[in-house]
Amino acid sequence: MAAFDLALARVQQDGIELLPDRINRLARAQDHTFRQTVLTPGNTLCWFVRQIAHGNVACSAMGHLTGCDFSDSAWCQARARLPMELIQSVHRLLVENTRRELNLSDDVGGEAYRWHGHRVHVIDGTNDSMPDTHGHLQAGDVLLGDDSFSGWGHLALLLQANLHGVMPTHHKRIVQFAPDRPHAHPRKGKSSKRAGKPRSRVLRMLGQDDQLVEYFKPVAKPAWMSDGQWKQLPDAITVREIRRTVKRNGFRSITVTIVTTLLDPEAYPADELIELRLSRWMIETNIRHLKITLGMDTLKCKTLDGVRKERRVFLLVYNLIRLIMLRSARRQGVNVNRLSFADTLAWVRFGNLDEPPEIKVNPWRPGRLEPRVLKRQKKEFPYMTSPRAKLKSQLHAKYHDTT
């Protein structure tokens, strides 16, 4: 059995391992019928996972990768028959298993996976769509995002759902720290009188550059929110604004201004909230793992249903790697975020997973900055902006004209 198949088999739910036979039983329980050929749903899903893990290799290579005799056409048809509901069920079992193990690993090597007892979810936008994540959150969870999520609507929805947020203040919001400063109300006064004033009222100063403020409901509803949601939200919300200048070795100091729904200055010290905000860089790393290291940046399926399945299996593979990293982190006594994703992937592809592997530990680099540049020059070819058949016919026409 390949290392990745073995890793998937060891994801347990109620003591039952996710081997191909177990996946086949899940398929039958969901009323999916299939023939007892080599490409059963169980084998197909396990090998689909292996295909993604090995760099999303071509379908024509799957016979060699699995050691079984079937054509690339048969493999493509088997993937097309694979029910999305089955992929989602297996992924759900994996995520639930990982959450249980994470709850048992709240403190590894002196580093906590929870912040002040809260589960922290780091959120970001990317050029791939996914369902609303609120259904996966629990009351008291903390969302750590960028200023795209710090508008009045997002903060009000978080409070409505008994969730918390730590975000940089929105780039359009004026922030001033003074107990008696003037403010403007979006629904009162002329626009000329409101210009240049903060649209928030100071309720109480909590310390130096640390204040409770009241954010007023804007006049205009965000385009992404329904009328029903907007009407249910209050006329104002209370949040906390904090500003700190952060010194970094080898870099110039930066000024960080955040807004948060965590209002208690004793339970949530301002400096610790700023430090939590600065830890958000890890979401950029994790997205790069998914899109670059695993190769999800470019999907290969040519149908909408195929793309959805391919994306779901990418997420399954990613979470399976993270589960292996979590088990290895517990064994090595380090925080899971210090372990190398690429080294874990190499173990999954070629190593022996009879025991949790010894994964490379990355150096601790707080406040790390990296330039967004390509390491190597790309070849100077134009992009394919027309169908291949049209481009080929143009080449043929050009060739015949010149001869």
In this prediction, residues 189-218 reach a mean pLDDT of: 86
Q: CA-CA distance, 236 to 204, in Å (whole number)? A: 16
**CA 260 vs CA 44, 130, 156, 203, 401: distances in Å:** 46, 25, 11, 15, 67
Least Cα distance to 49 among 391, 361, 315 occurs for 315
Would you state the structure tokens that stand for residue 353, as one six-digit string? 């997973």
When mean pLDDT is compared across 161-175, 186-200, 217-231, the lowest value belongs to 186-200
Tell me the mean pLDDT in the region 214-218: 95
pLDDT confidence tier of residue 229, bands split at 50, 70 and 90: very high
Q: How does 22-41 read in b/e, with b if 16+ C-beta sit within 10 Å?
A: bbbebbeeeeeebeeeebbb
pLDDT of 130 reads 37
User: In angstroms, rounded to a whole number, what is the distance separating the alpha carbons of residues 27 and 34?
Assistant: 9
Angstrom distances, CA of residue 314 to CA of 17, 198, 254: 20, 45, 37
What is the rounded distance in angstroms from the CA atom of residue 119 to the CA atom of residue 39?
40
- CB proximity list for 305: less than 8 A, separation 6 or greater: 80, 84
Q: Please, what's the largest Cα pairwise distance for the chain?
A: 83
Q: Side chain identity at 400, as an amino acid letter? A: H
DSSP string, 236-297: EEEEEEEEEEEEETTEEEEEEEEEES---TTTS-HHHHHHHHHTTHHHHHHHHIIIIIS-TT
Q: What is the mean pLDDT of residues 217-228?
A: 91
Going by pLDDT thresholds of 50, 70 and 90, the confidence category of residue 295 is confident
Q: Where are the domains of the chain?
A: 3-92+296-350, 146-279
Q: Which residues are paired to 16 by β-bridges?
A: 13
- Residue 103 confidence class, pLDDT cut points 50, 70, 90: confident
| The two structure tokens encoding residue 208 | 């130096």
Residue 292 CA to residue 79 CA, distance in Å, equals 23
Contacts of 359 (CB under 8 A, 6+ apart): 325, 328, 329, 332, 339, 340, 343, 344, 347
Q: What is the mean pLDDT of residues 264-286?
A: 87
Q: For residue 355, count CB atoms less than 10 angstroms from its CB and return exposed for 0-12, middle for 13-18, buried for 19 or more.
A: exposed
Phi and psi at 156, nearest 5°, equal: -65, -40
Please state the rounded mean pLDDT for residues 77-104.
Answer: 85
Q: Can you give the pLDDT at residue 10?
A: 59
Query: Cα separation of 52 and 58, whole Å?
Result: 10
> If DSSP codes are grouped into helix, strand and coil, which group holds residue 17?
strand
Per-residue tokens: 318: 């990613």
pLDDT reported for residue 111: 47
For residues 7 and 290, give the distance between their C-alpha atoms in angstroms, rounded to a whole number: 18
Residue by residue, DSSP assigns 287-304 as: HHIIIIIS-TTS---SSH
Q: What is the pLDDT of residue 60?
A: 85
CA distance 46 to 67: 13
Say yes or no to pLDDT of 172 above 80: yes
Query: In Å, what is the CA distance from 197 to each residue of 39, 117, 250, 320?
Result: 66, 37, 36, 50
What percent of the chain stands above pLDDT 70?
Answer: 84
| pLDDT tens digits, 27-71 | 999 999 888 889 999 999 988 988 888 888 888 889 888 888 899
| Between 108 and 302, the higher pLDDT residue | 302
Looking at residue 356, what is its pLDDT? Answer: 72
The pLDDT tens digits of the residues spanning 116-168 come to 888 887 776 655 433 344 656 888 999 988 888 899 999 999 999 999 999 99
Residue 355: is its pLDDT beyond 90? no
Taking only Cα atoms into account, the Rg of the chain, rounded to an integer number of angstroms, comes to 26
